[in-house]
Chain A
Amino acid sequence: MTDLHADLTEAQPDAAPARGGSQSGRSVKAPQDAARRQTAALSAFLLVQTVGTVFFVGDVIGDLREDPTSIHFMFEATVTMALVLGVLFGAFALRRTIELLRAQEAALDVARGALSDVIARQFQAWALTPAERDVAFLALKGLDVAEIAELRGAAQGTVRAQLTRIYSKAGVSGRAQFAAFFVEDLLGEGVGPAT
């Protein structure tokens, strides 16, 4: 049962790519992916910068052995020093970025885990059968009847009947209220009299 569930959730992005069934997952993940790519690009740049800096340091040391008092040497040494500092600060900033990214990912996982805990407990409280839990979970993820039926290899009529039973067990009027049941708590004092 659990495996079926895992498979369903994993297979779901493939099965419903056009619909964007994993809107929640994808919209949060996309910036994370972008940030990860950006970090990789920054790292590559930092390494190239390091290579350039090392070549310059070598050059400056060569100049130092030839004539340490020349204007050429002093100027180049200053510029190279700036390069070295730039690399060090770059490395430090990159570390901060990487750590920030990880903290965000961890927070996201915690939030996801917490929400799914809440959902699981609620499903249990409503005494949903295992099949109903699967359907309810997929419905919460935004799949429509046809997609759920396809994923579960069931007839659309079956899924529709299951959804109806789920709504009645949950005491909600339909899909919108069903989804709102879990979102409501996250929104806090969202609904108030219009001012």
Chain B
Amino acid sequence: MDLGQFILMRHELLLTVAALAILVAEIFTSEKNKSKLINFALVLFALVTFIGFIPGETGNLFGGSFQSSQLTVFMKNVLNLAVLIVFLQAEGWLRKPENADKISEYFILTLSTLIGMNFMVSAGDFLIFYIGLETATIPIAGLAAFDKYKSESAEAGIKLILSSALSSGILLFGLSMIYGATGSIYFADIATKVAPNALIALGFVFFVSGMGFKISLVPFHFWTADVYEGAPINVTSYLSVVSKGAAAFIFTIVLFTVFKNIVELWKPMIYTLAIATMTIGNLFAMRQNNIKRFLAFSSIAQAGFILLGILGAGELGMTAIVYFVLVYVFTNLGAFGVVAAIHNASGVETISGYNGLYQTNPKLSWLMTISLFSLAGIPPIAGFFGKFFLFTAAAGSGYYILVLIAVLNATISLYYYLLVIKAIFIEKNEQPIPEFRSSNSMRIALVMCITGVLVTGFASGVFEYIRSISKLFLN
């Protein structure tokens, strides 16, 4: 085997090198200079992200266990970009004295999960897929429990590890049945052998349930709100954007490639899950006052929209999902960034605490408003295009009623997003959050988000590019 082929794994290898470099750098950093590690890690990771965008070869490794295509490379780049924004947003928080001794841990844990996600996206068999999934999940529990002296944070960690252990078990159980029925763990083999019989159906149900936990689809979403609330805000944003985005990618890939011959079996399931996820997520989001719980439920509802793209099977569905996740990265990280900035400056994390924010921090208010409008799918912001293409994909398969339910759900979601906007702009407050200036890296992150949100929709080239690579991938 030619060692040069390892260039196909450049994303994974680069991340591993970066994680190790940070680990080594910590050894050689004195106690006083620990905070310099942050700069080092940021620069290093920015470099890794940049290198990832350089086009390179694609192909298979290890007899098809590891598959690299333009689409998977693009997915990895989206994840990298999201993590870069998360890191930039976390900078101010990491510089706080209570985190001084855990800086490298934060980066290493996050990068480990990212490596897992990258392997997951590139998986060509269920073994790599499962290893990637576990690598992507277990370190997150450590991250969720990052504020170890806060009981909520510790609780979040333990909840996450328990529920993901359970879901992994269920998932494995399902995979074992599929292996039993088809005699293979390779995606390509299973795709040809899979047939709509009882064993496959049962295995598939377990598989979807396991993935349902990861993407937090209703009714597998119970861990989400508590974990999101308890975890530090930058971990929450990571969970809600990167982790969920990666799970959505791999879920789509597996459904579109491995299980494409039993479409009739899984479409009704996804249909039901989509309606339940959108509706329940929305109904719960309405009643939240804690902004993190609020965003948690709103992200559950957003996951429901992603399922619409899965129903629009084929190239357009795939394109719509990847595009939506890309937009979702900018949008949701924009919202989380504002929440994190406010939390860092004033400790406020309730919606009613945002009352009158516009009087003191108009720029931040507009950022939040644009992000929320994008989440609600209001034109001409990127979120509108993301949703529109998902709906177009679903309508292309004839699911008009589902599209109607989804758009009505988008309207409901507008209601609670408007509640936040109302708090910011309209509600009176004697003592609004005082004016503050967030750190430079946070500003850079927010500018990246807002640029993405404003530009992605108009620049149709992004969509067309994703469409062309999705076409290549699926054929």
A and B co-occur in one complex = no
Interface residues of B (CB under 8 A from A): none
